[in-house]
């Protein structure tokens, strides 16, 4: 029998996955190997336990959720994933879906290749719905104004079954600036008009960034709901000019340098130049959100076909991280060096991995592998040295995988080479210590050079 899963382990499991999606090693085992070890991950959880959790954890509904009637799983303790960035005080996402333990007898034929509606299931995606509902609820709390963009793409569900790679269709509502405001997951293209109508606020203007969405049926459906829309339908590009109005006066086709733009008629406040300008801004916002999502994506470490809901979990987690970082950037516009997306994700990962969870600890928790120093002066508290142990000699001098990451203003700590008392914002991602890099003081290089031992 596997050991029961604790809430602390679930938080660490999620935090480790976020770190993996950020550092992007080609194999999960490399984070534990001697030559490529990442202490933040390796010291938090043994590889054997991580692989065990990858096999047996699954998503399940809370006991009082109506979706729970579909599940006969044995719950191993609830953990509401209310991710928070400790330093920024920024809530990332929370949801009602639980991560629970799954026994061998419960791994039924609920695979991504078998997502059909059965006699006992009215929703083939019921396992992921509690998680998705909570995520949408948090998105609803975001400020909504101005125009919107709608994007659509495939979410792979990388289950290994007969070499097939099933996927879900993701339809997203994006605000100008790249912030995601709504997401809809479906098995196919059915009811796409209904999905978009429900996610777009009434009385607004929406730009359809996929040509296959820019159909007369779609725009007429939106117009009936009180939503103006526009999208490119192809055709030869040219100068702004020709306009064609449908016989019923509802739609207008206009030529532009983007091609032909099909839009609803009757929105007199919009001239052609402004319509094209906003359409291009909408496309840029949709591309920004998708590009940030692709830049760092959490890997699906579970290989069983029944683990497809984890792909949805990691997708929504990545969306939450992108949204939170964009909000963080809005709140820190005046900062001279705000956190990059990479540094932001690592901070969230660290907060989860080092969290105490809600369990009663019977033993002293392990020492933190990352120095949490935020002082900006030239001296630091002596307690910081005790809180962040130096890496062992084998890790420190192995000559592999020691990458510097420059953190934001106020995010540094005391240089850990010798008796150097300077403050540095450069962190070695493998050793998890701050080290100076400057023209006269290259402590980063000296720290990893065994020949510099005599200087300490």
Residue 76 has pLDDT above 70, yes or no: no
> DSSP labels for 260-273?
EEEEES--TT--HH
Task: Report the percent of the chain where pLDDT is more than 90.
Answer: 28
Measure CA of the first residue to CA of the last residue in the chain; give whole Å: 49
Residue 77 has pLDDT above 50, yes or no: no
How far is residue 4's CA from residue 1's CA, in Å, rounded to a whole number?
A: 9
For residues 85 and 454, the model is more confident at 454
Strands 57-60 and 98-101: antiparallel
Give the tens place of pLDDT for each residue, 7-38. Answer: 889 999 999 999 999 999 999 999 999 999 99
Of 94-108, 153-167, 236-250, 337-351, give the lowest mean pLDDT range.
94-108
Helix, strand, coil: what percent of the chain each, to 5?
Answer: 35, 15, 45
What is the pLDDT at residue 348? 95
Domain range 142-295, CATH architecture: 2-Layer Sandwich (3.30)
Q: Domains of the chain: which residue ranges?
A: 1-124+297-358, 142-295, 383-455
């Amino acid at each position: 029998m596997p050991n029961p899963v604790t809430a602390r382990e679930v938080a660490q499991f999620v935090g480790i996955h976020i770190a993996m999606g950020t550092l992007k090693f080609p194999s999960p085992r490399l984070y534990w190997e001697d030559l490529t070890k990442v202490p933040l991950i390796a010291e938090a959880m043994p590889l054997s336990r991580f692989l065990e959790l990858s096999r047996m954890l699954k998503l399940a509904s809370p006991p009082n959720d109506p979706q729970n009637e579909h599940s006969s799983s044995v719950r191993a303790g609830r953990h509401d994933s209310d991710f928070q960035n400790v330093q920024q005080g920024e809530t990332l996402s929370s949801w009602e879906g639980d991560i629970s333990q799954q026994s061998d007898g419960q791994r039924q034929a609920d695979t991504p290749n078998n997502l059909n509606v059965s006699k006992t299931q009215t929703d083939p995606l019921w396992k992921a719905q509690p998680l998705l509902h909570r995520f949408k609820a948090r998105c609803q709390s975001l400020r909504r104004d101005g125009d919107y963009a709608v994007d659509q793409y495939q979410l792979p569900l990388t289950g290994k079954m007969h070499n097939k790679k099933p996927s879900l269709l993701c339809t997203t509502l994006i605000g100008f600036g790249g912030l995601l405001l709504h997401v809809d997951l479906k098995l196919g293209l059915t009811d796409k008009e209904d999905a978009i109508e429900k996610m777009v606020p009434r009385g607004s203007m929406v730009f359809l960034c996929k040509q296959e969405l820019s159909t007369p049926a779609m725009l007429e459906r939106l117009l009936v709901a009180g939503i103006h829309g526009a999208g490119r339908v192809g055709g030869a590009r040219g100068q702004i000019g020709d306009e064609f109005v449908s016989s019923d006066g509802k739609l207008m086709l206009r030529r532009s340098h983007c091609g032909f733009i099909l839009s609803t008629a009757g929105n007199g406040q919009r001239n052609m130049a402004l319509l094209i300008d906003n359409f291009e801004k909408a496309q840029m916002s949709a591309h920004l959100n998708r590009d940030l999502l692709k830049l760092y994506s959490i890997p699906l470490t579970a290989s069983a076909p029944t683990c497809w809901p984890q792909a949805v979990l990691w997708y929504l987690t990545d969306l939450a991280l992108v949204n939170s970082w964009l909000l963080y950037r809005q709140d820190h516009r005046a900062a001279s060096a705000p956190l990059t997306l990479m540094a932001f994700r690592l901070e969230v990962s660290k907060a989860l991995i080092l969290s105490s969870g809600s369990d009663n600890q019977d033993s002293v928790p392990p020492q933190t592998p990352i120095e949490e120093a935020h002082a900006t002066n030239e001296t630091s508290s002596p307690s910081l040295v005790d809180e962040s142990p130096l890496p062992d000699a084998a890790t420190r001098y192995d000559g592999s995988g020691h990458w510097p990451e420059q953190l934001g203003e106020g995010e540094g700590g005391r240089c850990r080479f010798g008796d150097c008392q300077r403050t540095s914002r450069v962190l070695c991602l493998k050793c998890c210590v701050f080290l100076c890099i400057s023209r006269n003081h290259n402590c980063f290089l000296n720290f990893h050079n065994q020949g510099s031992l005599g200087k300490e």
